């Protein structure tokens, strides 16, 4: 599937075939592509939890106001990010570059993020959101549908997945074989209302 088709055909699907099993190889293929997404300073803040345990899935559905896609989907991903990824062995993010590049990038990372709590948090959301979009497009290309979700109790889900204290949850994504089509698009704004040239 070409990229234009994937973007046009991706819709938020709410009902999945609960019998369908996504193989580990498929999940790995999906996630190997997710981690090719861009991140500031290549920090790769994202951490992804796939929830396989049926009891946990049910608990998360209960914390999502009963949205059935949480248990019906073949794959439930919790898209998280590490607020302190910038200072956790940052040399890993540039290890394959020449020494002079590392000597420039590592102090730059430290300068940019030290005491910049808003920046640390914003970057987590930027990076993990870009990965989330790639996951949904990649899933489409693999013959799957998806739905991004933030309709859940973040504190409860954090408890269920044992979210570390210095991580955040961005969103969840459900992925599977669709049982019913998404409803027609609900009302896209016209391009000229959202796309401007040079200034607002």
Binding ligand FMN by CB under 6 A: which of 14, 45, 140, 178?
Answer: 14
Tell me whether residue 19 or residue 150 sits nearer to ligand FMN (CB atom).
150
Tokens matching residue 38? 């861009």
Which H or E run contains 54? helix 54-62
- Residues in contact with ligand FMN, counted by CB under 6 A, come to a total of 12
Residues in region 123-182 near ligand FMN by CB under 6 A: 147-151, 171, 182
Please give the span between the terminal C-alpha atoms of the chain, in angstroms, as a whole number. 36
| Calpha distance 105→108 (Å, rounded) | 5
Is residue 78 involved in binding ligand FMN (CB under 6 A)? no
Considering only the stretches 7-15, 38-46, 76-84, 153-161, report the one whose residues sit in contact with ligand FMN under the rule CB under 6 A: 7-15
**Burial of residue 30, with CB atoms counted within 10 A of its CB: 0-12 exposed, 13-18 middle, 19 or more buried:** buried
Is residue 68 involved in binding ligand FMN (CB under 6 A)? no
Tell me whether residue 14 or residue 178 sits nearer to ligand FMN (CB atom).
14
Query: At closest approach, how far in Å is the CB of 148 from ligand FMN?
Result: 4
Residue 149 pairs in a beta bridge with 172
Smallest CA-to-CA distance from 131 within 43, 23, 21 is with 43
Interface positions with ligand FMN (CB under 6 A): 11-12, 14, 67, 147-151, 171, 182, 186
């Amino acid at each position: 599937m070409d990229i234009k088709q994937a973007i046009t055909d991706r819709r938020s699907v709410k009902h999945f075939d609960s019998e369908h099993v996504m193989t580990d190889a498929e999940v790995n293929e999906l996630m190997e592509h997710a981690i090719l997404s861009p991140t500031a300073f290549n920090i790769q803040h994202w951490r992804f939890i796939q929830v396989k345990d049926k009891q946990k899935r049910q608990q998360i559905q209960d914390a999502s106001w009963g949205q059935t896609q949480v248990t019906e989907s073949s794959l439930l991903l919790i898209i998280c990010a590490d607020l302190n990824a910038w200072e956790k062995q940052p040399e890993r993010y540039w290890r394959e570059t020449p020494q002079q590049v590392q000597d420039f990038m590592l102090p730059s990372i430290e300068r940019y993020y030290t005491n910049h709590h808003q920046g640390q948090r914003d970057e987590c959301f930027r990076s993990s959101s870009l990965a989330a979009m790639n996951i949904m497009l990649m899933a489409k290309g693999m013959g799957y549908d998806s739905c991004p979700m933030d309709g859940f109790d973040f504190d409860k889900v954090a408890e269920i997945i044992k979210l570390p204290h210095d991580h955040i949850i961005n969103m969840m994504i459900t992925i599977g074989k669709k049982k019913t089509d998404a409803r027609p698009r609900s009302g896209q704004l016209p391009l000229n209302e959202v796309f401007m040239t040079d200034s607002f």
